[in-house]
C-alpha cells in the first residue's frame, strides 16, 4: 500500500502542489517570524552584554512604579558615586545618565519621541566603564559639544565640526559635533540613536542635576563581581539601592527585552496562525475533491480486496507526504523571507547587526510539526469519507454531488454558530486574558458553525449573487451560476476560506472606523479651546515647561494649559496619572465633570473618572493612595469625578501636586486659547512663529488634532491589512485550486459545450463568473462575521469610550469589489485551461 500512496501522490502532483502551497505560505510566515524574532533577541542579548562589558557592579534605585509600559525609578545622588569609589576593591566607578532625548535630523525633521528611531541621551563615560568608544574625533567637553553614534552620523551625513541640535529637558540646544562613537563592535544601536555629552550637561539635559540614573563599577584585579557587589551593598546599607553584578543586570535587561519581543512575536504569530487556519479550509477542500474524483479508483481497490483500513492508511499517507514536503518547503521559504525582511528593516534604519539569522532547532521542529499537523487534521475527514466508499461504486458512473439540506447539518451548524456567538458575547463582558480567550474561542466556534452551514446557504445565496452574471453575460453567466451551485459543499468550503480573511479585514475596518468616529465625537464634544501643541510624547519626554511660558507671554494668547503624565501605582496596580492646570483647563477642554468641580482639584486633591470611581467605590471627599516613584505613597482627596474618556487616563491632579511628587517635568500637550479679538490666521501665525524654536512642537487646531489621532489608527490599520493579506491570498489560491479541479472534472461537459457552439471566450467568462460568485459568497459571509463580531466588540468597548458602531460603506464596498476582482484573477489559470479543452477528447465515447 505504501507504493500506492507514492503513486497517488505522483499521479496528482500538481493538485497536491497547489494544496501544499496553502501550508507552505502559512508555515513560511511562522518560520520567518520566529527566525526574525530569534535573531532580534540574539542581537539585543548581544547589545546588553556589550552595554555591561567589563562592568562588574551596577548600582541603581529599585523600580518604584512598574508602569504599563515603563518602569519608574528615581535617580542616584552624585555623592553615592564617591561613596562607592571608597569601597575597597573598586577599581573605578562612574555615574551614568540615560534619558530622553530627540535629535533634529539633517532634513530638519525631529526624530521619534519613543520606540523606533528614538534617541538616547547619555553622558560620556571614561574608558572601560562605557560600551561607547570613539570612532573618530574626541570626547565632548563642556556644555556645547556632543558625540553621536557613528551609524547615525553616517546616516545623516554629519561630520566633525557640524552643528547638531539636540532636544532635552530644557528644550533644543545646538551642539558642535566633536566625535563619533561605536557601540561595542557595531556602529550604532538598531532603531535608535545615541548622543553623548559631558556629565553635567547630560544631567541637566537628560536627567537631573547632581544625580545619575545608575552607577557603573569595575573591580580591582582579583576581586570577583559578586564579592564587590556584596561589599558595595553593605557600605550603602540603608540607602535602599539595588546593587547588581554586571552579569545580573545584563540578564535582567535581556529578560525584559525578551518579554517585549515576545509580544511582538505573538502579534505576528497571530497572523501566521490565521493564515494556517485559512489554509486548513483549502487542504480540507482539495483533499475532498481529489478523493471524490478518485472514488472509482478507491472503490476498485476495495473491490479487489483492499480493506477499509488499507485505503484509509494510503490516503492518510498521502496527506503526510503533502504535509512533510509543504512544511519543509515552508520552513525554507520562511528562512529566506526572514533574510528579505532583515534587508527591508535595514533599509528603513533598523539594522540588525552582527552575524547571520538564528534558525533555532525549536523553529525547525515547530514549523515541521505545525505544517504536518495542519495538513493531517484537515485531511482526516476527507480520508475517512474516502475509506467508506463502497466497492460497488467502482462499477457505477461517478455521480454528481446531491446535497439535500440535511437536518443534521442545519442543527449542527446553527448550534455551533449560536454557541460561538454566546461564547463571543461572554467574552465581550469578561476582562483580561479570559476575555481574549473567550472572544477567540467564540469567533472560532462561530466560524466553524458557518462553515458547517455553508453548503446550506450556498445555493440560495449564489442564486441571488448570480443575477448580475446572468444579466451581463447571458448563458455563460447562467452556466457559471449553476456550476457554482452544483457542488454546494465544495463552493461553501472554498468560500469559507475567504470568509475568514474577509471577515477579519472587515472586522478591523469597522472597528477602526468606529474608534475614529468615537474619537472625533469626543474631540468635538470636549475640545473647547483653539489649539493644542503636541509633543508626540506620552510616556517619556515632551516639552520643557518653558514652552508654555513663552506662549503665555504672547499678546495673542489668552490662556495656556499644559498637560503632564507619569506612571503611578494605585490599588495594587499601576496606571497613568495626568496633571493639568485645573484652574484653566475648563476653558480648553470639557472633562464632563459629574460630581465636585475640576477647579476644586488642587494641592492634595485628585479627580477620578467615573467608571474607575465606581469600581473602587470612591466618591467626592474620599481618600485614595497613589504611589509615586519619588515620594512613595501619597494620600490624595477626591475632589471631582469626570466622565470624558478622550484623555486616556482615569486620574487627574493639578500641576502643583505633580511638581511636588514627580521629578521630571515634561509637558506632553499644551492647550492654547487665543484672545477672541484676534482672528484665527493671525493667532496661528503668531503661535507658529513662537514655536519655530521648538522643533518637536506641532501646532494643531481641533481638526488637525482629530486627524493626528485618527492617523495613528489608520497606520495600525494598514499594518494589519498587510498582515492579513496572506490569509486572503491563501484563500484565493483555494479558489483557483477548486476551480482547476472542477474544470478538470467537467472537461467532458466543456467539450460538449464547445462542440455545440460555446466560444472559448464564453467558456472563460463562465469560469470567471463562477470564481466571482465564490469570492462574493465568501465576502458576504465574511461581511456578516465582521459586522456581528464588530458589534460585539464595540459593545464591549463602550466603557473604553467607543460609543457607536460605524459600518463604513465605502471601505466595505471596496473590499467586496476587490474580492470579486481577486476572484477573476484567481480564475485566470482555470479559465484558460477550460477554454483550451480538447473538444474531440472530451466528447469521445468512453
Partner 1 sequence: MLTDPLATRLPAPTVTAAPAARAVDAVKIYGRGDSAVHALDGITVDFGRGRFTAIMGPSGSGKSTLLHAVAGLDQLTSGRVFVGDTDLTTLSDKHLTRLRRDRIGFVFQAFNLVPTLTARENITLPMALAGRKPDKAWLRQVIDTVGLGTRLNHRPSELSGGQQQRVAVARALAGRPAIVFADEPTGNLDSRTGAEILSFLRMAVRELGQTVVMVTHDPVAASYSDRVVLLADGRIVDEIHAPSAESVLDHMKHLGR
Contact footprint for partner 1 (CB under 8 A): 400, 474-476, 478-479, 482-483, 485-486, 748-749, 752-760, 762, 839-840, 843, 845-846
Smallest separation (angstroms) from partner 1 to the CB of 494: 17
* Least distance in angstroms from the C-beta of 759 to partner 1: 5
Q: How near is the Cβ of 288 to partner 1 at its closest, in Å?
A: 20
Report the 10 Å Cβ neighbour count for 499.
Answer: 29
User: Residue 845 CB, nearest distance to partner 1 (Å)?
Assistant: 5
Q: How far apart are the first and last CA of the chain?
A: 29
CB of 43 to partner 1, least distance (A): 59
CB-nearer residue toward partner 1: 614 or 838: 838
Residue 768 CB, shortest distance to partner 1, in Å, is: 16
Strand partners, 112: 118
Instruction: Select 144 or 760, whichever has its Cβ closest to partner 1.
Output: 760
Helices in 243-360 by DSSP H: which ranges?
246-293, 295-303, 308-347
- Cβ partners under 8 Å of residue 489, min gap 6: 288, 401, 403, 454, 455
Q: Find the largest Cα–Cα distance for the chain.
A: 103
Answer yes or no: are the C-beta atoms of 586 and 644 closer than 8 Å: no
Rounded to whole angstroms, how far apart are CA atoms 35 and 550?
Answer: 50
Nearer to partner 1, 659 or 749 (CB): 749
Closest alpha carbon to 551 in 542, 561, 564: 561
**Any residues with CB less than 8 A from the CB of 174 and at least 6 apart, and which?**
144, 163, 164, 165
Q: How far is CA 514 from CA 53, 429, 519, 808, in A?
A: 50, 19, 9, 9
| Least Å from the CB of residue 840 to partner 1 | 6
Question: Is the Cβ of residue 218 or residue 494 nearer to partner 1 in the bound state?
Answer: 494
Q: Strands 651-654, 573-580: parallel, antiparallel or unpaired by DSSP?
A: parallel
DSSP annotation of 393: G
| Pick from 628, 544, 660, 538: nearest CA to 61 | 628
* Pick 325 or 462: Cβ nearer partner 1: 462
Residue number, 293 or 665, with CB nearest to partner 1? 293
Q: Which is nearer to partner 1, 504 or 771 (CB)?
A: 771
Length of the chain counted residue by residue: 846
DSSP β-bridge partners for residue 563: 580, 669
- Give CA 3 to chain center in angstroms: 46
Report the alpha-carbon distance of residue 609 to residue 605 in Å, rounded. 14
CB of 765 to partner 1, least distance (A): 11
Instruction: Quote the least distance from Cβ 830 to partner 1, whole Å.
Output: 17
Closer residue to partner 1 (CB): 474 or 621: 474
Measured from the CB atom, the residue of 594 and 841 that comes closer to partner 1 is: 841
Under a CB-based contact definition with an 8 Å cutoff, are residues 565 and 69 in contact?
A: no
DSSP label of 140: -
**DSSP states of 38-99 as a string?**
HHHHHHHHHHHHHHTTT--EEEEPPEEEE-SS-EEE-PEEHHHHHHHHTSTTEEEEEEE-EE
Nearer to partner 1, 210 or 474 (CB): 474
CB of 311 to partner 1, least distance (A): 27
Judged by beta carbon, residue 215 or residue 758, the one nearer partner 1 is: 758
Residue 294 or 485: the one with the smaller Cβ distance to partner 1 is 485
Which uninterrupted H or E stretch holds 824? helix 809-826
Strands, DSSP E only, in 104-241? Answer: 118-123, 132-137, 145-149, 163-168, 171-183, 192-197, 211-212, 214-219
Q: State which residue, 502 or 835, has the beta carbon closest to partner 1.
A: 835
How buried is residue 843: exposed, middle or buried, by Cβ count under 10 Å (0-12/13-18/19+)?
middle
Q: Min. distance of Cβ 824 from partner 1 in angstroms?
A: 21
Could you tell me the smallest distance in angstroms from the CB atom of residue 833 to partner 1? Answer: 16
Nearest to partner 1 of 261, 839 (CB atom): 839
* 421 or 830: CB nearest partner 1: 830
SS (H, E, C) 503-545: HHHHHHHHHHHHHHHHHHHHHHHHECCCEEEECCCCCCCCECH
Please state the closest distance from residue 781 (CB atom) to partner 1, in A: 23
Burial class (CB in 10 A: 0-12, 13-18, 19+), 799: exposed
Could you give the C-alpha distances from 813 to 481, 497, 810, in angstroms and in order?
22, 19, 5
Which residue spans within 682-840 are E strands per DSSP? 698-701
Q: Which is nearer to partner 1, 479 or 532 (CB)?
A: 479
538: CB partners within 8 A, 6+ apart: 113, 114, 565, 668
CB of 748 to partner 1, least distance (A): 5
Closest approach of partner 1 to the CB of residue 396, in Å: 13
The H-or-E segment that residue 363 falls in is helix 361-387
C-beta of 115: minimal distance to partner 1 in Å? Answer: 57
Amino acid at each position: 500500500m505504501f507504493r500506492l500512496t507514492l503513486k497517488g501522490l505522483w499521479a496528482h502532483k500538481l493538485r497536491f502542489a497547489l494544496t501544499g502551497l496553502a501550508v507552505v505560505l502559512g508555515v513560511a510566515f511562522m518560520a520567518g517570524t520566529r527566525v526574525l524574532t530569534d535573531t532580534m533577541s540574539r542581537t539585543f542579548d548581544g547589545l546588553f552584554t556589550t552595554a555591561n562589558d567589563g562592568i562588574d557592579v551596577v548600582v541603581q534605585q529599585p523600580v518604584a512604579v512598574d508602569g504599563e509600559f515603563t518602569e519608574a525609578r528615581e535617580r542616584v545622588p552624585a555623592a553615592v558615586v564617591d561613596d562607592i569609589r571608597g569601597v575597597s576593591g573598586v577599581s573605578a566607578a562612574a555615574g551614568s545618565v540615560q534619558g530622553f532625548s530627540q535629535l533634529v535630523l539633517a532634513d530638519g525633521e525631529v526624530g521619534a519621541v519613543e520606540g523606533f528611531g528614538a534617541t538616547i541621551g547619555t553622558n560620556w563615560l571614561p574608558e572601560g566603564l562605557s560600551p561607547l568608544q570613539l570612532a573618530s574625533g574626541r570626547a565632548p567637553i563642556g556644555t556645547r559639544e556632543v558625540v553621536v553614534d557613528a551609524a547615525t552620523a553616517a546616516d545623516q551625513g554629519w561630520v566633525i565640526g557640524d552643528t547638531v541640535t539636540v532636544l532635552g529637558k530644557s528644550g533644543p540646544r545646538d551642539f558642535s559635533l566633536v566625535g563619533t562613537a561605536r557601540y561595542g563592535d557595531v556602529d550604532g544601536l538598531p532603531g535608535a540613536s545615541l548622543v553623548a555629552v559631558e556629565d553635567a550637561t547630560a544631567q541637566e539635559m537628560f536627567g537631573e542635576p547632581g544625580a545619575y540614573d545608575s552607577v557603573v563599577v569595575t573591580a580591582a584585579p582579583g576581586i570577583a563581581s559578586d564579592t564587590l557587589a556584596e561589599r558595595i551593598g553593605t557600605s550603602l546599607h540603608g540607602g535602599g539601592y539595588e546593587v547588581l553584578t554586571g552579569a545580573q543586570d545584563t540578564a535582567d535587561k535581556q529578560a525584559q527585552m525578551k518579554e517585549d519581543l515576545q509580544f511582538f512575536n505573538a502579534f505576528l504569530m497571530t497572523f501566521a496562525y490565521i493564515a494556517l487556519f485559512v489554509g486548513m479550509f483549502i487542504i480540507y477542500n482539495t483533499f475532498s475533491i481529489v478523493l471524490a474524483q478518485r472514488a472509482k479508483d478507491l472503490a476498485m481497490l476495495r473491490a479487489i480486496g483492499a480493506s477499509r483500513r488499507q485505503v484509509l492508511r494510503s490516503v492518510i499517507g498521502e496527506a503526510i507526504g503533502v504535509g512533510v514536503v509543504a512544511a519543509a518547503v515552508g520552513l525554507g521559504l520562511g528562512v529566506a523571507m526572514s533574510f528579505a525582511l532583515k534587508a527591508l528593516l535595514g533599509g528603513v534604519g533598523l539594522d540588525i547587526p552582527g552575524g547571520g539569522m538564528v534558525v533555532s532547532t525549536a523553529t525547525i521542529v515547530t514549523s515541521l510539526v505545525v505544517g504536518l499537523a495542519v495538513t493531517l487534521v484537515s485531511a482526516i475527514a476527507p480520508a475517512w469519507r474516502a475509506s467508506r466508499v463502497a466497492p460497488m461504486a467502482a462499477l457505477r458512473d461517478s455521480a454528481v454531488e446531491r446535497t439535500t439540506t440535511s437536518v443534521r447539518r442545519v442543527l449542527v451548524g446553527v448550534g455551533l454558530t449560536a454557541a460561538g456567538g454566546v461564547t463571543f458575547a461572554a467574552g465581550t463582558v469578561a476582562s483580561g486574558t479570559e476575555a481574549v480567550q473567550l472572544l477567540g474561542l467564540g469567533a472560532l466556534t462561530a466560524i466553524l458553525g458557518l462553515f458547517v452551514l455553508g453548503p446550506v446557504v450556498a445555493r440560495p445565496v449564489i442564486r441571488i449573487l448570480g443575477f448580475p452574471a446572468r444579466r451581463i453575460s447571458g448563458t455563460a453567466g447562467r452556466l457559471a451560476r449553476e456550476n457554482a451551485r452544483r457542488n454546494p459543499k465544495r463552493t461553501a468550503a472554498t468560500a469559507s476560506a475567504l470568509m475568514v480573511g474577509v471577515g477579519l479585514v472587515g472586522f478591523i475596518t469597522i472597528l477602526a472606523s468606529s474608534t475614529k468616529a468615537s474619537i472625533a465625537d469626543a474631540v468635538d464634544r470636549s475640545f473647547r479651546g483653539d489649539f493644542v501643541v503636541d509633543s508626540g510624547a506620552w510616556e517619556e519626554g515632551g516639552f520643557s515647561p518653558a514652552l508654555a511660558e513663552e506662549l503665555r507671554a504672547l499678546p495673542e494668547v489668552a490662556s495656556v494649559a499644559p498637560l503632564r503624565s507619569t506612571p503611578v501605582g494605585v490599588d495594587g496596580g499601576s496606571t497613568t496619572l495626568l496633571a493639568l492646570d485645573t484652574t484653566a483647563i475648563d476653558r480648553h477642554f470639557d472633562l464632563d465633570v459629574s460630581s465636585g468641580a475640576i477647579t476644586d482639584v488642587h494641592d492634595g486633591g485628585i479627580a477620578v473618572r467615573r467608571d474607575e470611581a465606581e469600581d473602587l467605590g470612591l466618591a467626592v471627599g474620599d481618600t485614595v493612595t497613589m504611589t509615586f516613584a519619588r515620594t512613595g505613597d501619597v494620600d490624595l482627596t477626591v475632589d471631582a469625578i469626570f466622565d470624558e474618556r478622550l484623555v486616556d487616563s482615569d486620574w487627574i491632579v493639578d500641576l502643583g501636586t505633580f511638581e511636588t511628587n514627580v521629578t521630571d517635568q515634561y509637558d506632553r500637550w499644551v492647550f492654547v486659547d487665543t484672545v477672541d479679538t484676534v482672528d484665527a490666521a493671525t493667532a496661528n501665525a503668531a503661535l507658529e512663529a513662537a514655536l519655530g524654536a521648538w522643533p518637536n512642537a506641532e501646532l494643531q487646531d481641533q481638526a488637525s488634532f482629530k486627524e493626528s489621532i485618527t492617523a495613528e489608527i489608520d497606520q495600525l490599520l494598514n499594518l494589519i491589512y498587510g498582515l492579513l493579506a496572506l490569509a486572503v491570498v491563501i484563500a484565493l489560491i483555494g479558489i483557483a485550486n477548486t476551480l482547476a479541479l472542477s474544470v478538470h472534472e467537467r472537461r467532458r461537459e466543456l467539450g460538449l459545450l464547445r462542440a455545440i457552439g460555446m466560444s472559448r471566450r464564453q467558456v472563460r467568462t463562465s469560469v470567471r463568473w463562477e470564481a466571482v460568485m465564490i469570492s462574493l459568497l465568501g465576502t458576504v459571509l465574511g461581511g456578516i462575521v465582521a459586522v456581528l463580531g464588530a458589534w460585539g466588540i464595540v459593545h464591549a468597548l463602550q466603557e473604553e469610550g467607543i460609543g457607536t458602531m460605524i459600518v463604513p460603506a465605502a471601505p466595505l464596498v471596496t473590499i467586496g469589489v476587490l474580492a470579486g476582482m481577486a476572484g477573476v484573477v484567481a480564475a485566470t489559470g482555470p479559465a484558460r485551461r477550460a477554454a483550451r479543452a480538447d473538444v474531440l477528447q472530451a466528447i469521445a465515447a468512453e
